[in-house]
Chain A
Amino acid sequence: MLSATTQDAIADSNRLITRMLQASELKSVRVQDDPQIAGRQIQTLQQVYQGIPVEGGSVTLQKSGAVTVSMFGTLFNAISIDTTPAIAPIDAARIIEKAANASIAFGASPTLAIVPSPAGTFALTYKATVAYAITYYVDALTGDIVRIVDEKNYDTGLGTGTLGEPKKMATTLIDSAYRTRDTLRPAGISTYDTGGSSTALDRMLNGANATDSDLASSTTNTWTNGYVVDAHTNTGLTYDYLYRQQNWSGLDGSNRPLSDIVHSGSEARDNAFFIGPPFGPNKNGAMVYGRTSGGVPVTALDIAGHELMHGVTFFSLSSRTGSGFVPIVYTVLGPTSFVFNGTTFACATTTLGGRPFFCSNGRYVLGASHGGAINEALSDMFGTSVEFFFQPAGSGPLKADYLMGEDVTNFGPNRSLTNPAAISITHDNGTIGYPDHVTKMLNYALLVSGGTATNPTSVAFSPVAFSNGNTVFFLNSGSTDGGGVHLNSTVFSHAFYLAIEGGRNATSGLTVAGVGAANRTQIEKVFFRAITQLMPNNANLQTAAAVAIQAAVDLYGAGSPAAQAVTQAMTAVGLR
């Protein structure tokens, strides 16, 4: 490897290059004026050995007049091979055409090339490109095919999804195996498979450079592992939705590389999640897809849309505000006591795990993560939007609906945007429905984790929540859902549904005139604009509602059906 940008390094490299030029081991193959900096030239030198090009051996020089500004490239030394081929070009052509079952493109004859191997040896080969842009290298001594390079850089394979549906797999042929590297989408999508290894997951999540061998692979480009197929293709389809419907390129709008990780280990059991930079392979963030306890991949299309949308939310907020949603706890005052198993627990005297509850004038101070709920709601909105873009509306497998995760057998649906209360939240004493109105949100009693009970410096959510006057205990599981990020998301996401389809909010009784399914794109654009252009990173649900209304006004006008629908929907769920 040759990389020289300092004068000393350039001088050293120049001596090498001069010597190689004099020895006819390098030849200039291109000199071009620098299109961006006047007065500079870019020159490319190709390494040759006894007149035969050495594959991968070249140097690019940046010159300013006679002065070399930089040089980068790779030059191989210690090449010592017999350059007399044992087979004729026509024989090599026959070998290639037989192997490829295709003719050599444009009637060209195979040409000699020296191919370096990873072991440091060199092979004299014939190379030729056949139809469909695949280049074959044949050992000029033995007639063996030693390398196949797909010049198209992509292949479309055929995969079978978890539900048995056919899917087109955008893959790349690397070292004679097809791998889950999608170069069709401009961002590029890599789907890594940990094989259930916690060590591999840790390595990738902690920003290590993932390698080609971490990608899922198939020798035939026919993929039967529905887990990999769904993760890889559904991320691709979500990318397509964002591009086609929202004019948005990938995670950050600028085609940051996309990485999926399929991990069947316990770390992702019954779960899928997005993790932002600096985590993820190559520090680009990642969507991680687990399996259910029953072994079913959590990789349905709406789930992939949901996870990738988390990335969009993170990057769009970060680029404008410097961070994703900040963990502000929006508080309300709760009761002075609650009853659990027949015992009354007053705020001032109750502790949990040795920590007191946060009290104000004897009342429990309750809190919820509004930013988290907005984040989850947006992901649900666009998870369903991706479904509606690619699947026919209806119910059942592979149909577009307003349910989340319904295509994951014995797992979903996890949430309903149509009727949030239809999905139950299981707690210690039974179930309640997901909230469809701000008054039914779960607000969690806050534990003091720093400072005093009346003047805490830091708080944490407890597994005791209050919803619409009811106390809800999650003591058995200890779950706080991060302050109800998932459980409270349906207030905002239900408004999205109402703005599209219209209908009556079951709690407020208010009716919304939606824009209609035929115009669903309008509402999708409204909420996409809200998060990518206008939303502050410290928004509560009420602010988010106002942002959405403003986005509708921006896009369609104050009196437009879209603006009216969004306004009515936010009113119906109690957010204005």
Chain B
Amino acid sequence: MASPKWLLVRPAALLMMATVWATSAAAQSHSQPRVEISANVGAQTAASKFTASDTVPSNGGETETITVDHGAKTALAFDIGAAVRIVPRLFVGVSYAAAEMKTSGAITASIPHPILFNAPRTVKGSVDGLAHQEQNVHVDVIYALPINAVDVKVMAGPTFFTLKQDFVSGLSITETYPFDTATFAGATTKRSSKSAVGFNAGVDISHSISSQTGIGALIRYSQGDVKFDGADTAQHAVKAGGLEVVAGIRLRF
């Protein structure tokens, strides 16, 4: 019988393998397994777009404001997990999910005039490839509903989000005397990492293909508010999680 030490697979290995999700092993109304391990791959859509705005000291005591509207994308997602039955039909599961998105950001900045007070220039531009990397741990209570040939499990519980997010940290602009206008030339980014606790809820539907293996699909929605420190006293609130649709294998013991 396999040991839960399988859960110690490192994230790098996960990228090759896929996510695993532990589900109830009450397949086809037969005896429920003690442990179920799942590995899934699929897609995750970011929980939402967000806006990050920073105000930083700039020319001659004035402040520069950089506002970036971060987009949301659907990205490849991996999920690996294990569940242990504690009473009939009721499991406790832990899963590790990872997704990385490269989004774009629409930048609007207000750049103070280098010579004159109260004469800011508005600069607009965009930046691509802003990383949004999630590594999430879902802890769930799972209830198994064996229905005919499939196992249906509903789950809910807290999620521990670890999010790495790129933010625009500075702008390059093109400007010439008399500096009444400025144009966007580029942006520099800074990657920040932060953790937060949120929730998740989902449904797993699986079908056994042998006594110890099966295939299944998982739909889960998770969300957490991750707050990053901005360049000033403001914080950037980023929603982690989103809708995850994955499918993969099930190992039951």
Residues of A with Cβ closer than 8 Å to B? 102-107, 130-133, 154, 156-158, 166-170, 184-186, 236, 240, 243-244
Contacts and interface: CB of A to CB of B under 8 A. Distances in A.
A184 B182 CA distance: 14
Contacts of B177: 184-186, 243
Contact of B60 (A132, A158, A185, A244): A158
A240 B188 contact: no
B88 interface: no
B178 A170 contact: no
A243 B178 contact: yes
Contacts of B179: 184
Given A168-B115, A240-B115, A244-B178, A103 B61 contact: no
A178 to B, nearest CB: 12
Contacts of B114: 154, 156, 168, 170, 184
A460 B203 CA distance: 106
Given A102-B169, A131-B169, A132-B170, A168 B178 contact: no
Contacts of B6: none
A127 B189 CA distance: 19
Nearest to B191: A103
Contacts of A102: 169-170, 188
B67 to A, nearest CB: 16
B74 to A, nearest CB: 25
B116 interface: yes
A463 to B, nearest CB: 45
Given A170-B114, A184-B114, A186-B177, A106 B190 contact: no
A524 to B, nearest CB: 18
Given A133-B172, A185-B177, A168 B60 contact: yes
Given A103-B169, A236-B115, A158 B178 contact: no
A169 B114 CA distance: 9
B186 interface: yes
Contacts of B170: 102-103, 105, 130-132
Contact of A131 (B59, B60, B188): B188
A255 to B, nearest CB: 10
Contacts of A132: 170
30 contacts: A102-B188, A103-B190, A104-B188, A105-B170, A105-B172, A105-B188, A106-B186, A106-B188, A130-B170, A131-B169, A131-B170, A154-B114, A156-B60, A166-B117, A167-B60, A168-B59, A168-B60, A168-B114, A168-B115, A168-B116, A168-B117, A169-B60, A170-B114, A184-B114, A184-B115, A184-B177, A185-B177, A186-B177, A236-B115, A243-B177
A243 B114 CA distance: 16
Interface string B59-96: 11100000000000000000000000000000000000
A326 to B, nearest CB: 35
B60 A157 contact: yes
A130 B59 CA distance: 17
The 7 closest A-B pairs by CB, nearest first: A131-B170, A168-B60, A158-B61, A156-B59, A103-B190, A131-B188, A156-B60
Nearest to B167: A103
Nearest to B57: A158
Interface string B92-122: 0000000000000000000010111100000
Contacts of A133: 172
A106 B115 CA distance: 28
B176 to A, nearest CB: 9
A156 B179 CA distance: 13
Nearest to A167: B60
Contacts of A105: 170, 172, 188
Contacts of B112: 156
A240 B178 contact: yes
Contacts of A240: 115, 178
A105 to B, nearest CB: 5
Contacts of A168: 59-61, 114-117
A130 B188 CA distance: 8
A166 B115 CA distance: 12
Given A107-B189, A240-B115, 19 more contacts: A102-B169, A102-B188, A103-B190, A106-B186, A107-B188, A130-B170, A131-B171, A156-B60, A156-B115, A158-B60, A158-B61, A166-B61, A168-B59, A168-B61, A168-B115, A168-B117, A169-B60, A170-B114, A184-B114
Contacts of B189: 103, 107
Contacts of B186: 106
B56 to A, nearest CB: 9
Contacts of B172: 105, 133
A166 B117 CA distance: 9
A121 B58 CA distance: 36
A105 B186 CA distance: 10
A186 B115 CA distance: 13
Interface in B159-211: 169-172, 177-179, 186, 188-190
Contacts of A236: 115
B169 A170 contact: no
Nearest to B58: A156
A236 to B, nearest CB: 7
Nearest to A132: B170
Q: Which of B60, B114, B172 has the most CB of A within 10 A?
A: B60
Contacts of B58: 156
B59 to A, nearest CB: 4
A305 to B, nearest CB: 16
Contacts of A106: 186, 188
Contacts of B60: 156-158, 166-169
A47 to B, nearest CB: 29
Contacts of A166: 60-61, 117
Nearest to B113: A168
A104 B190 CA distance: 8
A336 B115 CA distance: 59
B250 to A, nearest CB: 40
Interface in B210-229: none
A236 B179 CA distance: 13
A131 to B, nearest CB: 3
Nearest to A108: B188
B190 A170 contact: no
Interface string B30-63: 0000000000000000000000000000111100
B23 to A, nearest CB: 41
B214 to A, nearest CB: 44
Q: Which of A103, A104, A133 has the most CB of B within 10 A?
A: A103
B117 to A, nearest CB: 7
A240 B119 CA distance: 14
A243 B177 CA distance: 10
B177 to A, nearest CB: 5
A188 to B, nearest CB: 11
A107 B169 CA distance: 11
Contacts of A184: 114-115, 177, 179
A154 B171 CA distance: 16
A169 B177 CA distance: 15
Nearest to B112: A156
A243 B59 CA distance: 21
Contacts of A167: 60
